[in-house]
Amino acid sequence: MAYSYDYLTLTQHVYVNGVLDASNSPRGPYIGTAGNMTIGTNKVFFPLNYWDGCIDQVSYFSRTKNASEILSDATLTVAYTFNNTLSDSRPLGINGTGTSLSYTASGRISGGLSSLTSGSYVQAQCLVLLSTSINSYSKVIWINQTATTAGTIIHVASTTIGVSWSIPMLNLINTGNLGA
């Protein structure tokens, strides 16, 4: 869920799962010079109106986000730029781990991983929705193919060593073509 207030149009927007659910205007502009943010109650009818439920993450941005930014925030789980690190650039901070990696400054967007050798890989753990059968998901990766040998590009497994279940999702087949 996201709330956005546009000072120029004096409009409030509420998004659910990245999709606009409600908007309200006109609203008067915020006239204070500073403010406090309270999470879990608004102190009106205090102490009778506490939030009863889970709150996972709260972020504050000092500008109005547009609908596509809200959707990205709601749905993008991890993002690795490979700028000499496996740090997640998203708020969840699901950092990757890797073995025998070599970085390059000439990636598609910023940095990248140079040719991975036999035994080198990157792992992301704690992606809990990948283990459920009722959730849709997408993976986006940019690759610069330098060989036509077969290999796995992305796979998902139940454990870090893939012994319970393992599903290859994106492969390079011997002809140099991608396979799913």
Q: Is residue 139 part of a domain?
A: no
Query: Is residue 154 located within the same domain as residue 113?
Result: no
* pLDDT higher than 80, residue 27: no
Query: Is residue 35 located within the same domain as residue 58?
Result: yes
Query: Is residue 85 located within the same domain as residue 64?
Result: no
Work out the average pLDDT over 73-83.
82
Contacting residues for 175 by C-beta, under 8 A, at least 6 apart: 148
Task: Write down the pLDDT at residue 135.
Answer: 67
Work out the average pLDDT over 9-37.
79
Q: Is residue 58 part of a domain?
A: yes
Instruction: Give the integer Cα–Cα distance in Å for 141 and 43.
Output: 46
Task: Write down the pLDDT at residue 178.
Answer: 76
Q: Which domain holds residue 108?
A: 77-132
Count of domains forming the chain:
3
**What stretch of H or E contains 74?**
helix 67-75
Instruction: Give the integer Cα–Cα distance in Å for 48 and 25.
Output: 28
Work out the average pLDDT over 161-165.
67
The answer to which of 1-15, 124-138, 141-155 has the lowest mean pLDDT is: 124-138
C-alpha 176: how far from chain center: 30
* pLDDT higher than 70, residue 5: yes
**What stretch of H or E contains 70?**
helix 67-75
Q: Is residue 165 part of a domain?
A: yes
Query: Is residue 6 located within the same domain as residue 27?
Result: yes
Query: Is residue 151 located within the same domain as residue 96?
Result: no
Reported pTM? 0.57
* pLDDT higher than 80, residue 98: yes
* pLDDT higher than 70, residue 103: yes
